[in-house]
Chains A and B, each alone.
Chain A
Amino acid sequence: QTVVTQEPSLTVSPGGTVTLTCASSTGAVTSGYYPNWFQQKPGQAPRALIYSASNKHSWTPARFSGSLLGGKAALTLSGVQPEDEAEYYCRLYNSGVWVFGGGTKLTVL
C-alpha cells in the first residue's frame, strides 16, 4: 500500500514564499503520478488548485504553482495572503489507484 507523505504543518509570514511537498513511499514522484493539489478551509469542501503536477485551473490564483522537485511533487505559494491559511492535500496516482497525502496545515502568521 503506497503511503503519501506531506509536511504536517508549516508556518509562513504574509507576503512570504513557502513550498509544500508530496512524497511517495514507492520512490520518486514523476509526471506519471499525475499529482493533484487541493486546498481545504474549515467547514468547506476541498477546492482543486493544481493537476498533472503543474497545471492550474481557471480559478487558481497566480501565486500558486506546482512542480516536481527533488523526487517529490511540490506546491509553492509566492506572496502568501492571509486567506491562504488552510489545509493542503496532494493526491498521487500509482498502479490504477489514487492515494492522498495526510495534508499540510499552513498557518499564515
Chain B
Amino acid sequence: QVQLVQSGTEVKKPGASVKVSCKTSGYTFTSYGITWVRQAPGQGTEWMGWISTYDGNTNYAQKFQGRITMTTDTSTSTAYMELRSLRSDDTAVYYCARDHDFNMDVWGQGTTVTVSS
C-alpha cells in the first residue's frame, strides 16, 4: 500500500535549520509530486510548496521563498524539506503528501518541529 513515512520530532534553536524527510513506498515515486504543508498550534493548515519528483521543479509559497528548499532522492524514493533561519513561529507539525493532478491524496504522519531557545 502507498505509504509516506516522515522523520522524527525535531527541537531547534532560533536561527537554526531543520530538514524533514518523507520516505515513500508502494508506488512509482517519480509519477507523483510531493506537497509540504504545516499546522501551527491552534492555527490552520498552511501550504508551503510542491516539488516534482520527476524533474525536481519546485513551486514555493511566497512566504517561504529564500528560506525553504525542497529536494528529492529518487534512489531512495524520499523527499526532503529544509527550512532555514527558524523562528518561534515556525513551531508546527509539518506534513508531506503525495500530490498529482490537483489531487493531494496520501499524507505522511507528520513531523513536529519545535523552535525554542
Which A residues contact B (CB, under 8 angstroms)? Answer: 34, 36, 38, 45-48, 51-52, 55, 57, 89, 91, 93, 96-103
Does A36 lie within 8 Å of B44, measured CB to CB? no
Does B107 lie within 8 Å of A97, measured CB to CB? no
For chain B, the bracket of interface size reads 20 to 34
Does B110 lie within 8 Å of A48, measured CB to CB? no
Which B residues contact A (CB, under 8 angstroms)? Answer: 35, 37, 44-47, 50, 59, 61-62, 95, 97, 102-110
Q: A45-B95, A46-B107, A98-B35 known; A89 and B44 CB under 8 Å?
A: yes
Does B102 lie within 8 Å of A51, measured CB to CB? yes
Does A45 lie within 8 Å of B109, measured CB to CB? yes
Interface centre among A46, A98, A100 (most CB of B within 10 A): A98
B96 to chain A, nearest CB (A): 10
Does B37 lie within 8 Å of A47, measured CB to CB? no
Bound together, the chains give a CA A92 to CA B104 distance in angstroms of: 11
Does B105 lie within 8 Å of A100, measured CB to CB? no
Q: A34-B102, A46-B95 known; A100 and B107 CB under 8 Å?
A: no
Bound together, the chains give a CA A96 to CA B62 distance in angstroms of: 11
Residue ID in chain B nearest A33 by CB atoms: B102
Bound together, the chains give a CA A47 to CA B95 distance in angstroms of: 12
Bound together, the chains give a CA A24 to CA B106 distance in angstroms of: 25
